Chain A
Amino acid sequence: MTQPSTERSPFVLETKDLGIFYGDFRAVASVNIPIERHKITAIIGPSGCGKSTLLRAFNRMNELSTGTRIEGEVLFEGENLYHPMVDPVEVRYRIGMVFQKPNPFPKSIYENIAWGARIHGYKGKMEELVESCLRQAALWDEVKDKLTQSGLALSGGQQQRLCIARALAVQPEVILMDEPASALDPIATLKIEELMQELKKNYTIVIVTHNMQQAARASDRTAMMMINHERSGTVIEFNETQKIFTNPKDKRTEDYVTGRFG
């Protein structure tokens, strides 16, 4: 992939008639959404509507399971993410991911961050990178005196911030978050949300969440997904978050955000 040019589009990622298949089953259909730079985009919708599948298409994570394919395009910095010449491993460095359940490596806090950077060929001072990533993830003050301890010894909320720090270590442009706070208590959840506000200054964030209040609190733009008549998930409304939660245009969005869906 080429490096971004100086005159960049406001959209880091963009889908064009994106469909995602598991074998013959079209799990996601006809998605056309732009992901704005330095913004937090939330994807909401009922269970099984394809939110996580769509999210994983943004860094080609779906390909890790066999039989998946896409139709249409995903553009990253204006270029087709699924072009045969594009290396999916490189894609996942530039578009990082944080999962629902914190999954630190069974290694020290320090190594959790240094490991990926080292493999990726980081040549700078590793101590500085580790500190910088931990600071950006708002974790430094809590762990600076115990960097050699296992990452698994941290609390759930700290582990999730460690995973965010780990994602930052390879200097991504985009961070994808799949229900990053659903396994955390309310205080740890708010810390993650505050952290997202800090991170968006340097990164672009796309978050899948079941928690509508979280989407309302933390995101700038919201994509509402729903199953269509062919049982494929699709984006039925995409707008500024404040519009989605105060005056949605689609009746189904209204029913979902007011808790009357079903």
Chain B
Amino acid sequence: MLRKTFEGEIQQLKDDVLLLGSMVEQAILDSVEALKKRDVKASERIFAEDAAINKKRFDIENKLMVLIATQQPMAHDLRLLASTMEIISELERMGDYAKGIANINIRMGDAPLLKPLIDVPRMAQIGADMLHRALTAFVNEDVEMAKSIPIQDDEVDALYNQVYHELMMFIIQDPKTIERANWLLWVAHNLERVADRVTNICERTVFIVTGEMKEIKATDDEFWKGQHS
């Protein structure tokens, strides 16, 4: 077969993206788990480990540059490499959200959680699950699967909405809770963004296969409307 070496390098590249994705997925779940348990030590570890995610992203980016320079990719190959560049950037930013959540837990110090975390871990679980499936769709170049994932973003948005209103109630009832409520709002916001970025990955996967660049869905407008009404 022609281009056997190149095919092998593409496979290796996809494996690297999967590895980066699993690091990010774990960081998201761990960051929320540490917050839930108020385990500052664990958060410090997650905060430090973000450097490994960043390094992995740069390693993959470098490999991509070398492949583009040496293999002159065209058509599907070109779409795959260009999209992978986007996808690893999305993953790295998701890693930053996990780091942000870890940082909140560290900065909270001895202050207890405003409320037991129920919806926030659910948001993390759904986001991580979406990410996992989005990367499976990417590796297998499965358009139908990629298109089916962003609908779950609605669940995350609904949970965020719920958390938001709940925290607003705390603030209204007792303005002294503002800072603690705000911390949790940031955590929820970060998780809401994770789901949005998963949608971007799914859009890239569809583009790799079909060559068509379009948004899979955009319910965000509705979401924000509900937020400020």
Q: Report chain A residues within 8 Å CB of B3.
A: 258-260
Q: Do A254 and B72 touch across chains, with their CB atoms under 8 A apart?
A: no
- Size range of the chain A interface in the assembly: 10 to 19
Chain B residues in contact with chain A, CB under 8 A?
1-3, 6, 72-79, 211
A100 to B187, CA, bound (A): 65
Q: Do A259 and B2 touch across chains, with their CB atoms under 8 A apart?
A: yes
Q: Report chain B residues within 8 Å CB of A259.
A: 2-3, 6, 74
Of listed A254, A260, A262, residue having the most chain B CB within 10 A: A260
Q: Do A245 and B2 touch across chains, with their CB atoms under 8 A apart?
A: no
Q: How far, in Å, is A24 (CB) from chain B's closest CB?
A: 33
Of listed A212, A213, A247, A254, residue having the most chain B CB within 10 A: A247
A254 to B79, CA, bound (A): 12
Q: Report chain B residues within 8 Å CB of A213.
A: 72
A216 to B77, CA, bound (A): 15
With A246-B79, A247-B79, A247-B211: A260-B2 Cβ-Cβ less than 8 Å = yes
Per-residue B-contact encoding for A234-256, CB less than 8 Å = 1, 0 else: 00000000000111100001100
Q: Report chain B residues within 8 Å CB of A260.
A: 1-3
Q: Do A254 and B76 touch across chains, with their CB atoms under 8 A apart?
A: yes
Q: Do A258 and B74 touch across chains, with their CB atoms under 8 A apart?
A: yes
A213 to B75, CA, bound (A): 12
The 8 Å CB contact of B78, one of A245, A253, A261, A262, is A245
The 8 Å CB contact of B2, one of A212, A247, A248, A262, is A262
A258 to B2, CA, bound (A): 10
Q: Report chain A residues within 8 Å CB of B73.
A: 258
Q: Report chain A residues within 8 Å CB of B2.
A: 259-262
B211 nearest in chain A by CB position: A247
Tell me if A257 is interfacial: C-beta within 8 Å of chain B.
Answer: yes
Q: Report chain B residues within 8 Å CB of A216.
A: 74
A262 nearest in chain B by CB position: B2
A213 to B19, CA, bound (A): 33
Q: Report chain B residues within 8 Å CB of A254.
A: 75-76
A261 to B79, CA, bound (A): 19
A137 to B164, CA, bound (A): 68
With A260-B3, A261-B2: A248-B72 Cβ-Cβ less than 8 Å = no
Q: How far, in Å, is A235 (CB) from chain B's closest CB?
A: 18
